[in-house]
Structure 1
């Protein structure tokens, strides 16, 4: 999906996000879910925004994945607890796809839905790598990311008041 399609499906994205992140350890409040919906409606306006939405045959939303390439001015790297090399931090708007959210509702987990969403949002990707933040205390997500080839490059508090997250990178390809 591009941003316009994701905006039209915003209700489905909100439903998956609210349900998936209401669980421990996230415990997102209604206010936090609303704030995420507001952020999403801003993010979908980026011309490089990409998303995937999984639904059942009857249209029930099951899972979401979305993000966009990081600009040269991204603050993503600024939240690391230890400094990263200039080469790791280098962004130009085409180098790194920032995976903002990947979530699957509980009844559909452990069925490969997250993997297929991940693949769908990266189909046709021209970036050389993917960057995400993941809570270290969510073992299933950590195991999935590692099995897909992600490796930890640092730790960060991605926003003010956030729990410590692992910053993980997946190499898609090396630029020539």
Structure 2
């Protein structure tokens, strides 16, 4: 598996992403099997049980990067954060009410962004990020990143994200950094 040729990034709505689930799953399973995530087959199955429902959201957006031979090398997806979301409640320290206010349009939640090992360091993650967010009307983007994923954390900081707290969004021992990107600046 040697990266060669042109990488194409394609944005999709929920319906198209649901049809391309195998590409999303392949990238997810490959990337999140690595440390610090160490996800097993059961974790991937659970993630794609959620993905099935997430793609049905009206505001869902996905993006897949693939080679000329149509081999998936990266993916990203997310959707608008709805009022009443539990996302803000998962933080270990409370944040001001104005920060946690959601109306279904204000914040885009970046659920996943991943690039397979051989294609890292070539700008694929940035292209996925830009393609996914191009044209959204949200004021900001919210995400969780494992603090031991140094390359991902550094990329997000370089793209303008700032850490606003820590959360334990899933069962398990790991705290995740919660990061926010203001799209208005």
Common fold by TM > 0.5: yes
1:6-25 superposed matches below 5 A: 6-25=17-36
Aligned to 2:140: 129
Is 2:59 the partner of 1:59? no
What is the SS of the residue equivalent to 1:118?
Answer: helix
- What is the deviation of 1:161? 1.8
- What is the deviation of 1:145? 0.4
Q: Which runs of 5+ in 1 are unaligned?
A: none
Distance in 1 (alpha carbons) for counterparts of 2:87 and 2:170: 9
Aligned to 1:76: 87
CA RMSD, Structure 1 to Structure 2 (Å): 0.8
- What is the deviation of 1:162? 5.2
Is 2:47 the partner of 1:33? no
1:23-172 superposed matches below 5 A: 23-161=34-172, 163-172=174-183
Distance in 2 (alpha carbons) for counterparts of 1:62 and 1:43: 21
1:72-127 residue CA offsets vs partner (Å, 9 max, x unmatched) = 01110110000111011000000000000000000100000000000000010100
Q: Which runs of 5+ in 2 are unaligned?
A: 1-11
1:34-55 residue CA offsets vs partner (Å, 9 max, x unmatched) = 1111110110000110010000
Distance in 2 (alpha carbons) for counterparts of 1:92 and 1:159: 24
| TM-score w.r.t. length of structure 2 | 0.92
Aligned to 2:8: none
- What is the deviation of 1:173? 1.3
What is the SS of the residue equivalent to 1:115?
Answer: helix
Distance in 2 (alpha carbons) for counterparts of 1:73 and 1:21: 29
- What is the deviation of 1:58? 0.7
| TM-score w.r.t. length of structure 1 | 0.97
- What is the deviation of 1:160? 2.2
- What is the deviation of 1:159? 1.8
- What is the deviation of 1:149? 0.2
